[in-house]
Amino acid sequence: MKVYHYFRSSASYRVRIALNLKNLPHELEQIHLIKQGGEQLQAAFRAINPDGLVPALVDDDGHIVTQSLAIIEYLDEIHPTPPLLPANALDRAHVRAIALQIACDIHPLNNLRVLRYLTNDLKVEEEAKNTWYRHWCEQGLAALETTLNKDARTGKFCFGDTPTLADCCLVPQIYNAKRLKSDLSGMPTLLRINEACLALPEFARAVPEAQAEAE
């Protein structure tokens, strides 16, 4: 299978982690989000994903799957070992909710196209744009810290002692948060889990700087 990604895209980073955790052979092809006005917006990539967003997975039969969480759930369904979701329905909902809290409530507000709109269309100054970024990041991650701290299911990772879909989402979001110098001082649990993840080679190989295209 082939996965279209961008080395620094948070949603791509999630899928790279999942592919590594599943130990699935795959080819990565970079769609550069900045060069040439954004390769993701050009016809060649839009034919794969009309939404013009990475990541997108194309399997060996040419079937296309878009959206990072849909891709990871798909990988988990067709290659169930090791599982990225717990066996119990309530626990699965808990893990999905963590992933969605990041994917729906934090990340979309900090996406490249959104930050560009703030700058280009709304004429928001650099500092106010960074404050916006940090605001959503810090508010969302603080809520997640509270959720994880009060839940007995939190272990070495977001859920128990093996990585799940939730960790695939957490690590790229912490990466983004640190990159924009968000204040994570009140989030020891998230930072501890992030470190535990990055100590695993499957996570370490997925970080943006480890990609062939890293600049």
CA dist 154 and 185 (Å) reads 19
Dihedral pair phi/psi, residue 27, rounded to 5°:
-110, 135
Distance (Å, whole) CA 155 – CA 163: 10
Pairing label, strands 27-30, 56-58: unpaired
- Is there binding between residue 67 and a second copy (CB under 8 A)? yes
What gap in Å lies between CA 169 and CA 13, rounded to an integer? Answer: 8
Q: How far apart are CA 63 and CA 10, in angstroms?
A: 23
Minimal distance, residue 123 CB to a second copy, in Å: 9
Stretch that binds a second copy, among 28-36, 124-132, 174-182, 186-194 (CB under 8 A): 124-132
Binding mask 141-160 for a second copy (x = CB under 8 A): --xx-xx--x----------
What size, in residues, is the chain?
Answer: 215
The stretch near a second copy (CB under 8 A) out of 26-34, 139-147, 194-202, 205-213 is 139-147
Tokens standing for residue 79: 């290659």
Shortest distance in whole angstroms from residue 210 CB to a second copy: 25
60, 62, 81, 89: residue in contact with a second copy (rule CB under 8 A): 89
The reply on whether position 172 binds a second copy by CB under 8 A is no
Going through the chain in order, the beta strands assigned E by DSSP cover 2-5, 27-30, 56-58, 64-66
> Which parts of this chain interact with a second copy (CB under 8 A)?
50-53, 59, 63, 65-67, 69-71, 73-74, 77-78, 89-90, 92-94, 96-97, 100-101, 103-105, 107-109, 114, 117-118, 121-122, 124, 128, 131-132, 135, 140, 143-144, 146-147, 150
